[in-house]
């Protein structure tokens, strides 16, 4: 009788489990990379280039996050928008700049995105003198802000020009 009771109990449990609704599959949706995000990120870069070319450091800084990190070639890392201002101020004060950019790729992953681009950067001393031209490439990381806009959070670049002779 004990064996029969155990068998019936096992049958009831199996029947209950077999008839129970399946657990819902948890689907983690990938964030939607929209053309609007890609366009907005390209516009941030456009504003940075326009500000560079017009010599407007305030407009140039406006595209950066407060905690931005800039990694210029052959120099120490610059952390925070105020430090970036101090780093760039002399360049804006002393040089006329002409920057052209060609975006190669933009990828969006949720609230972060990266852009890979090439640049041609010409500077001319405001006091007079020869222009200098540099070509290179950069990788920029953007973060989506609470209002949905995008700002530049991390920037690293290097030049295609050969290193200066010593």
* 40-94: pLDDT as tens digits: 999 999 999 999 999 999 999 999 999 999 999 999 999 999 999 999 999 999 9
Instruction: Give residue 69's Cα distance to chain centre.
Output: 11
Q: Looking at residues 138-159, what average pLDDT do you find? A: 97
Task: Report the pLDDT value the prediction gives residue 30, as an integer from 0 to 100.
Answer: 53
Q: Pick the residue with more confidence: 11 or 130?
A: 130
In the chain, DSSP finds a helix count (H) and a strand count (E) of 4, 6
pLDDT at 161: 85
The HSE-up count of residue 134 (CA atoms within 13 Å, CB side) is 15
Place of tokens 């010409």: 122
Which pLDDT belongs to residue 34? 86
Report pLDDT for 28. Answer: 52
Pick the CATH number of 33-159 from 2.60.120.920, 3.50.50.60, 3.10.450.50, 1.10.4080.10: 3.10.450.50
Alpha carbons 74 and 92: distance in angstroms, whole number? 19
> Domain segments of the chain: what residues?
33-159
């Amino acid at each position: 009788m004990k064996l029969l009771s155990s068998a019936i109990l096992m049958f009831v449990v199996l029947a209950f489990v077999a008839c129970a609704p399946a657990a819902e599959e948890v689907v983690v949706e990938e964030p939607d990379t929209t053309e609007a995000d890609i366009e907005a990120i390209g516009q941030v870069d456009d504003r940075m280039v326009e500000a560079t070319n017009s010599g407007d450091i305030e407009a140039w800084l406006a595209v950066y996050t407060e905690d931005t990190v800039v990694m210029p070639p052959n120099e120490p890392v610059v952390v925070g928008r105020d430090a970036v201002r101090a780093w760039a101020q002399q360049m804006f004060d002393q040089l006329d700049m002409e920057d052209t950019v060609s975006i190669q790729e933009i990828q969006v992953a949720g609230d972060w995105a990266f852009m890979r681009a090439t640049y041609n950067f010409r500077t001319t001393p405001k006091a007079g003198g020869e222009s200098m031209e540099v070509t290179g490439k950069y990788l920029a990381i953007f973060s989506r802000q609470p209002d949905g806009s995008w700002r530049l959070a991390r920037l690293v670049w290097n030049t295609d020009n050969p290193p200066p002779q010593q």
